[in-house]
Amino acid sequence: MNTPNRSQNAAPTPTGGTDPTRPDPAIVPPVDVIEDAGGITLYADLPGVPREALHLRVDGDQLSIEGEARVPAPAGLEISHAEVALPRYRRTFTLSRELDSGRIAAEMSHGVLRVRIPRASHAQPRRIEVQVQ
């Protein structure tokens, strides 16, 4: 389920062209994956990414998370040192057929993205009643 893949965006080369085999540089955000009987919940750390700069996309069995951090400097000041030089996050996951990609829900709180992917109805555990004759 949590197989990271490369993005299809082309990255600039040192000569000024683009190389379609090399994706734009991005930080791979740390993600916790929690599975329960109802599905999977992903928690991705995306500090500095506002809701409008966050993009989740499902394409076939691929779930992509992309975001751009926006940390403005206070008025009249400029940043002299930054621990994180890349403002972009990107991570892709391959979804199991047991998950229902049509019912994915996401919410963001304090820089942590929570993505709930429910299990498909055919993959839900169910109790089978045994008849006595």
| Assigned domain for 30 exists | yes
* Range of the structural domain that residue 52 is part of: 24-71+85-98
| Per-residue confidence (pLDDT) for residue 23, from 0 to 100 | 66
Number of domains in the chain: 1
What predicted TM-score, i.e. pTM, was given to this entire model? 0.71
Q: How far apart are CA 126 and CA 120, in angstroms?
A: 12
| Assigned domain for 57 exists | yes
| Per-residue confidence (pLDDT) for residue 14, from 0 to 100 | 44
**DSSP one-letter code for 63:** E
| Assigned domain for 46 exists | yes
| Assigned domain for 110 exists | no
| Per-residue confidence (pLDDT) for residue 71, from 0 to 100 | 77
| Assigned domain for 11 exists | no
- Find out whether 66 and 49 touch, Cβ atoms under 8 Å: no
| Per-residue confidence (pLDDT) for residue 1, from 0 to 100 | 55
| Assigned domain for 113 exists | no
pLDDT in tens, the chain (133 residues): 544 443 334 444 444 444 556 568 899 999 999 999 899 999 999 999 999 999 999 999 999 999 999 877 788 888 888 776 778 999 999 999 999 999 999 999 999 999 999 998 877 777 888 999 8
Q: How far apart are CA 109 and CA 55, in angstroms?
A: 15
CATH of the domain at 43: 2.60.40.790
| Assigned domain for 92 exists | yes
| Assigned domain for 41 exists | yes
